[in-house]
Structure 1
Amino acid sequence: MPTVTRNLQWWIKVSIHTCLILAGQSAATLLGRFYYDQGGNSKWLQTLTFSAGFPILYIPLLLTKNSTSLPASCPLPLVKIAVIYIAIGLMTTADSLMYSYGLLYLSVSTYSLVSATQLAFNAVFSYFINSERFTHLTLNSIVVLTFSAAMIAFQPDSDNPSETPGGKYMLGFILTLAASATYSLILSLMELTFDKVIKSRELSAVLNMQIYTAAASTAAATAGLFASGEWRDLKGDMEGFKKGRLFYVMTLVWTAICWQVNNVGLVGLIFEVSSLFSNVISSLGIPIAPVFAVILFHDKMNGIKVISLLMALWGFVSYFYQHYLDYKLEKTAKTEVISESTQVTRV
């Protein structure tokens, strides 16, 4: 009975973290598009919203500080950890900036479908960096997602938001594709850091990773905001917002909060399962944003997009099913080990 209870608690936690990812990611993406549709134009300010809400993560960190602290006998190499956090933070800033341009030049539905390629990139990076194995299902997922993105790349330009020129549409596509690859690389590097440097999956370690990389990313985005000169236009950006100043501020604040809700879910899944699995769940939100985009922003869901969406879902199902098989195999192996240990003890 205790085992059943623990399994139930684990499934409840995973379900909650999954809901946080799906809700936070979808809402943040839609709010980001809303910002541009209503007249907002600052790419660096939009980039800042991806990480600026990181202080929220101190709440779960403080709640778990006493129960999940690392043993005193396992001090971390502070200089190495600091360099890793800063490097990942800078990569996150570049990744967020590319996503910001993608949201500016693409419709939400197109942006979301191109972002689905992160699963394919994740499989490749996990193979080379985290020693994950390739299977027929994984390869099928990569091929299907590649064709899905290719279909979006060659669709008619009439789908572009705000009559974006064709050149900028292709730039948005390329930057979103590059951002998906960078995001997958970041997750693989985080996984490698946990395994080789931190050597812990305790919740405090995972939260510290998220907090300090986000702090570095926030500092870099703030520097970019001032270095680019966009800070001089923020007053005009606010005054030109169609819904007014209050909506301008609230849009940015809630975008930042939603991204951190997403991050809390990612942290939870990294802690409960793995960063690889958290990326898979993150990709599950692919069909959510386009559906709401059609309702809220009147995005066009033409035949190419529908086929691309179905292919992306098929790629996700293949990838997810492979994870299910791996989990089942691992669970069987653990059961056999426990059974053998019990028999040895009885003898």
Structure 2
Amino acid sequence: MSTNIVVTEEPQPLRFREYKRWLRVTLYAILLLACQCSATLLGTLYFEKGGKSRWIASFVLSAGFPILLPLLFYSQKHVKSTKHPNNDPPKTKPKPSMICSFYLAFGLMMAAMNLLYTYGISYLPLSTFTLVCTSQLGFNAIFTFFINSQKFTALIFNSIVVLTLSIALIALNTESEDTKHHPKEKQIIGFFCALAASATFSLHHSLLQVYFKEVVKTETLSVVLNMNFYPMLIATFSGLVGLVVSGDWKKLQTEMKEFENGKVSYVMTLVWIAVTWQLAFVGMLGLIFEVSSLFSIVIGNMELSITPILAVMVFGDKIYGVKVIAFLLAIWGFLSYVYQHYLDDQKTKKNISNGPEVSKVEEEN
């Protein structure tokens, strides 16, 4: 005698929810790319039109964090209203002191990243700066290998080699004809600051993955928002301390008067830098929540391929032969990285689909 348990087809509402999920993913990706490109262009505009304070520019990168407050309140209210609907016991949570130490560490890391980023974008043409920032992918591959146990594949290795060649070409041509305001020495400083900012960014995301998987062991909307809001608060406070200690706050009125487009334009430029960066972070957080931290990095790095083209259109950056080759190499490295991510995703789906779809219980008399 045998008894078969028949599994019915996937219900339509489940498929509809999946479509809605990927619609949200698409909207988050568009928000991330559009706002990240806009924020980078506005950051360059600030220095192009007469802005001089790196501390002010660094401060506004995180100062827009209050925009996240409505989402934060909503997420916490939603968690309270849906807490243990099935009377399941709560998961063991890490101690508040441990969580606060992570907030502090990530906040200080973010503050350092903001300052390095600001020095890079102030000393380099925008197209050169974004090409240097493509090193994020290479750094991310290295950090995920050592920290997140990500395997090195031929495509990942190819991506690292190609991106390294691209960065080397830029490093050897910092004296190119697109130099406008800064001598070669400052361009070299800008190059290494942009490189260090990229490394810090990749390390931040790798450690963020560890935090979600090993410390809090969840990626709920509330947890993801908390991990962005409180480090942003600490980074903003750190930038404010740097602004006061450096004395740059005293130059604010003078800088505002000397800004080429006027006082209103000066204020609006800084305000929109803060707003667009925070909206970009909302897109990034959405991708982390809906898919993964790694996926958010891959989508975010698409901006590095778009911005050099926008830099030529908006700021008239010159595209000479070496920069074109570096740009094409960066695109090649990026596509290799994305394709490897696609293969990993397909492999994961295949493993799931090959799992037990029908359970059979056989009894023989």
Per the normalisation by structure 1, the TM-score is: 0.96
What does 1:269-288 correspond to in 2, within 5 Å? 269-288=287-306
Q: Equivalent residue for 1:192?
A: 210
Secondary structure, counterpart of 2:152 in structure 1: coil
Which structure is higher in helix share?
1
Q: SS at the partner of 1:66? A: helix
Asked if residue 63 in structure 1 is aligned to residue 74 in structure 2, the reply is: yes
Of the three residues 118, 126, 148, the one matched with 1:108 is 126
Match of 2:317? 299
CA distance, structure 1, for counterparts of residue 230 and residue 58 of structure 2: 17
Give the deviation of 1:164 after TM superposition: 0.9
2:282 to 246, 264, 281: 264
Counterpart of 2:359 (choices 322, 343, 347) is 343
Percent identity reads: 44
Aligned to 1:202: 220
What are the ranges of 5 or more consecutive residues in structure 1 without an aligned counterpart? none
Out of 164, 174, 196, which is 1:178 matched to?
196
Aligned residue pairs total 345
**Contact 2:178–2:317 (Cα < 8 Å) also in 1:** no
The answer to whether the 8 A contact 1:93-1:217 is kept is: yes
Amino acid at match of 2:316: H
- CA offset digits 1:301-340 (Å, max 9, x no partner): 111111111111111111111111111111111122241x
Secondary structure of residue in 2 paired with 1:89: helix
- 2:272 is aligned with 1:254: yes
**Counterparts of 1:112-191 in structure 2 under 5 Å?**
112-155=130-173, 157-191=175-209
Gaps of at least 5 residues in structure 2 are 1-11, 85-89
CA contact (8 A) 1:122 1:185 kept: yes
- Asked if the contact 1:105/1:161 (under 8 Å) is kept, the reply is no
Counterparts of 2:190 and 2:362, CA distance in 1 = 65
TM-score (norm 2): 0.91
1:48 aligned onto 2:59? yes
Q: Give the partner amino acid of 1:53.
A: G
The alignment yields a C-alpha RMSD, in angstroms, of: 1.6
How far apart in 1 are the matches of 2:356 and 2:330? 39
**Which amino acid in structure 2 is aligned with residue 41 of structure 1?**
K
Amino acid at match of 1:5: F
Q: Which amino acid aligns with 1:173?
A: F
Tell me if structure 1 keeps the 8 A contact 2:178–2:318.
no
Instruction: Determine the C-alpha separation between the residues in 1 that align with 2:305 and 2:214.
Output: 35
CA distance in 2, matches of 1:251, 1:112: 20
Partner of 2:39: 28
SS in 1 for 2:359: helix
**Aligned counterpart for 1:81 among listed residues 90, 94, 99:** 99
Distance in 2 between the 1:169 and 1:216 partners? 30
Letter in 2 for 1:343: S
Structure-1 separation of matches of 2:180 and 2:314? 15
Which of 232, 240, 247 does residue 214 from structure 1 map onto?
A: 232
Which of 221, 230, 233 is the matching residue for 2:251? 233
Q: Which of 9, 13, 22 does residue 2 from structure 1 map onto?
A: 13
Relative distance call for 1:227 and 1:345 in structure 2 (3 A) is farther
Secondary structure at the aligned position of 2:354 is classed as helix
